[in-house]
Amino acid sequence: LPILLTEQVPDKLGPTIEPVRSILNDTEPIIKSSFSCAGDPGFMSQTDGLSMYDGIVLAGIETHVCVYQTERDLIRRGQHVEVVTNAVASRDAN
């Protein structure tokens, strides 16, 4: 499966942590400044080439903002989206 990696303003928030980067070492991160990946032209242009797949699987941090808004916006665009519960995190459990 194709893997897209995004980083939210890494110059301010830091890059992807090393254990994850070491697994995805061949994947160049898409740098974004909008919370939703769907608001980033670089991300959306990459997903345009994935129409042969039935949906998008999301994992990530800042679930309450970035993952949520990405899921919401992709669904609004007609995508089938699944969020991997054990592969998302937030600063606050509530």
Kindly report, residue by residue over 45-75, the tens digit of the pLDDT.
Answer: 999 888 888 899 999 988 999 999 999 999 9
The structural domains of the chain, with segments of one domain joined by +, span 6-89
Share of the chain above pLDDT 70, in %: 97
Kindly report, residue by residue over 14-56, the tens digit of the pLDDT.
Answer: 999 999 999 998 999 999 999 999 999 999 999 988 888 889 9
Q: Does domain 6-89 have CATH number 3.40.50.850?
A: yes
Full 3-state SS string of the chain: CCCCCEEECHHHHCCCCHHHHHHCCCCCCEEECCCCHHHCHHHHHHHHCCCCCCCEEEEEECHHHHHHHHHHHHHHCCCCEEEEEEEEECCCCC
